[in-house]
Chain A
Amino acid sequence: MVEGRLIEGVLRGEEAAIARSITMVEERLPGARALLAGLATHTGKALRVGLTGAPGAGKSTLLAALLSALRRAGKRVAVLAVDPSSPKTGGALLGDRVRMAMHAGDSGVFVRSMAGRAALGALAPAAGEAVDVLDAAGFDVVFLESVGAGQADHDIALECDVTLVLVAPGSGDGIQALKSGILEIADLWVVTKGDRPEAAGLKAELLASLSLAADARAIEERVVTVAALGGQGVPALLAKIEQAGAVARAPGSLEPRQLLRLRRRLLAAAAELCAERLPPDAPQLAELATRIKSGDLTVIGAARALLSGGNA
């Protein structure tokens, strides 16, 4: 019953238990499901904040600044930083800690790096569950950071109460890229490196582009410029994050995000169970494949039979 001890440790906020629990969830080690089930009732207290943006947009630097501000306010903060794995070797170089180095050794800050593993362009499958572990461990705010790349942005938005999309001046087609789908997922747009002269132009361009789809004044409220290294704009951004978080998490709020999150989890769990029941070498698969080949069955018909649990 290793998970029993881990659950207790996580709830007490013990670093080693939190660290090992995330490994268990990430590696799908035996007991991971029992662990998550045991922690589930203790989640929902942390404010979950997602950060996404192109590589070099300034995610880690902004995070470091937000951590400093939250620590000054006496909050305990966790970060889950997800970086892609190499599809060729499965290895990964996770470097987000470099920009957050000043927070290393602070017991009120927990930083965990996670590799995207199989899910290229999407969020690591275990990321949401790792956030659950951090939530249950009693951190006031949990950040989920990932390179913006297609599906991952959408996944982050589902896993978080508030989602920040970062754009940096000089990134050329940054806004072009933003147009496709990412517009809907952002609660707040952050123009980073705001001390650069091009930042004001970028903000204007962003506002113009966003206003096509929504009320201009409402949009303006949701675009924030920061210069994270000097700390400019960070308190204002933090206030907006907290405000958006309060709205998303208000009791009785109609915000369907939490439901969407659960729906996604449910689907993922069902897919996982499927894969477990049907390993690639399952005898039913071989048998059905033979019958498909002989023209006795179609692929979709056989798949239906597999899902319904009956024999074809």
Chain B
Amino acid sequence: MTRRIRVLVAKAGLDGHDRGARVVAAALRDAGMEVIYTGLHQTPEMIVSAAAQEDVDVIGLSLHSGAHMELFRRVHALMSERGLAGVLLTGGGIIPDEDAAALAAEGVGKLFGPGTPTGELASYIKQEVARRRAEGERA
């Protein structure tokens, strides 16, 4: 039996719009994943600490506040500090393409904009987690 994929879905920072995060959380559950939803107003420290305790494969951040550069970078840095470099950091919200590209160059995963079919997100996560697990086993 293959290991279940565990995903932490979090809303970082001050924005209070969690409809997107909830829709994504439910969609990933329906795709067979175990989704841990943390709720609103999480600091990067809270998110990374929760991810460490939950031993997740994926952190999904939802951001609509415009603070995505700061928050993704901070979460990404904390992940390295806490030994979570193998965890996929992805997410979505209102994020301009050039910002997503800049974050991708720093090692953040794909970021998804409004209107993305949830199936696309689920298959990206499945693919990426399978790849990382295989890499982890080889290492």
Contact = CB atoms under 8 A, between A and B. Distances in A.
A and B bound?
yes
A92 B35 contact: yes
A104 B30 contact: no
B55 A86 contact: no
Interface in B15-33: 25-26, 28-33
Interface string A16-42: 101110110001010000000000000
Contacts of B55: 19-20, 22-23
A90 interface: yes
Interface of A is mostly: mixed
A140 to B, nearest CB: 17
B123 interface: no
Interface of B is mostly: mixed
A241 to B, nearest CB: 23
Interface in B61-78: none
B80 interface: no
Interface in B24-54: 25-26, 28-39, 41-43, 45-47, 49-50, 52-54
B138 interface: no
Given A19-B54, A19-B55, A97 B37 contact: yes
A105 B29 contact: no
A15 B54 CA distance: 10
B115 interface: no
Nearest to B8: A97
Contact of B3 (A27, A92, A115): A27
Contact of A91 (B28, B39, B54): B28
A92 B30 contact: no
A311 B65 CA distance: 69
Nearest to B22: A93
A213 interface: no
Contact of A94 (B37, B45, B52): B37
A89 B42 contact: no
A111 B31 contact: no
Interface in B59-109: 82-83
Interface residues of B, number: 30
A97 B38 contact: yes
Given A27-B3, A101-B42, A115-B4, A92 B34 contact: yes
Interface residues of A, number: 28
Contact of B46 (A15, A86, A90, A101): A101
Given A27-B3, A98-B38, A104-B38, A93 B29 contact: yes
Given A92-B34, A94-B34, A112 B49 contact: no
A209 interface: no
Contacts of B30: 86, 89, 91
Contacts of B54: 19, 111-113
A112 B34 contact: no
B123 to A, nearest CB: 14
Contact of B32 (A27, A90, A101): A90
Interface of B: 3-4, 25-26, 28-39, 41-43, 45-47, 49-50, 52-55, 82-83
12 contacts: A19-B53, A86-B29, A89-B31, A91-B33, A93-B35, A93-B37, A97-B36, A97-B38, A101-B38, A105-B49, A111-B50, A113-B54
